[in-house]
Amino acid sequence: MAAEIVCTRWTALVLRELLCGSRRFNDLRRGVPRMSPTLLSKRLKELAHAGIIEVRRGDDGFEYHLTPAGEDLRGVVMTLGFWGQRWVETEQSLEKLDPSLLMWDMRRHLDPTPMPPQRCTIRFHFPELAAARQKFWMVVDGRKVDLCSTDPGFEIDLYVQCSLRTLTAIWMGFANVRGEIEEKRLQLDGDPHIAASMQQWLGLSPFAQERNRAGKKVERAA
């Protein structure tokens, strides 16, 4: 019975987004960009019917909140993530990448502490992607972090250029900033302090600490 509730397609990823703090429909969509809005709506209704979430009316529309039963799934979802990091081959993990999902995850975990106190804008550029998906801007103002897919119009403090594969490998703990710079797969231009502290403010996937045991190393390309 439990598997019928939480093991339908996409449900584990929707739960992950809810456990990470997403409450509104559009925020949930950004965390599962390949899931259709219709299917997301259906899964949310199923989770509400099962007592895993409750729907509340907020100031700007409906919000989705985990019930105690939903919060109790945190260990299950995290264990699944750690299992994937441990046993899914690294090369397989770096296939079918989505820049919007990566940047949304990074925005959620970015640590502003090493940043200067004034507003900072970082532009990420993935030159191998289609033009509409090449560039993202992260705007850090105090403890607030915003992600933009169009130019916010602020002066750029740091330009980050690399392949989507390279940044994903760093985020997942398969590589690190210094090593990718040395291998000329990552280029940083701009404020030297922000550039030097990238590994600190970027953070890592919550599952990055788990060592991969699938037995194959990632094949890297420039």
Co-location of 45 and 7 in the same domain: yes
Torsion of CA 187, 82, 211, 194, to 10 degrees: 30
pTM beyond 0.85: the answer is: no
143 shares a domain with 192: yes
- Is 145 a member of any domain? yes
Cα separation, 172 vs 168, whole angstroms? 6
Q: In this structure, what CATH number is given to the domain that contains residue 31?
A: 1.10.10.10
**Token pair listed for 128:** 């191998």
Cα-based torsion angle of the residue sequence 19, 81, 95, 109 in order, rounded to the nearest 10 degrees: 50
Domain count, the chain: 2
| Domain presence at residue 88 | no
Residue 34 lies inside a defined structural domain of this protein? yes
Q: What is the pLDDT along the chain (222 residues), one digit of tens a residue?
A: 788 888 888 899 999 899 888 899 999 998 888 899 999 999 999 999 999 999 999 788 899 999 999 999 998 988 887 787 677 655 554 566 889 989 998 998 899 999 999 999 999 999 999 999 999 999 999 999 999 999 999 999 999 999 999 999 999 888 999 999 999 999 999 999 999 999 999 988 776 665 545 444 444 544
Determine the structural domain holding residue 135 and report its residue range: 95-202
Is 68 in the same domain as 107?
no
Is residue 62 located within the same domain as residue 130? no
Whether 199 and 176 have beta carbons less than 8 Å apart is answered as yes
67 and 103 share one domain: no
The answer to whether 113 touches 82, Cβ cutoff 8 Å, is: no
Task: Round to whole Å and give the CA distance between 45 and 42.
Answer: 5
Domain co-membership, 65 together with 132:
no
Residues 139-171 as b or e (16 or more Cβ within 10 Å = b): bbeeeebebbeeeeeeebbbebbbbbbbbbbbb
Residue 77 covered by a domain? no
Residue 145 belongs to domain with CATH number: 3.30.1050.10
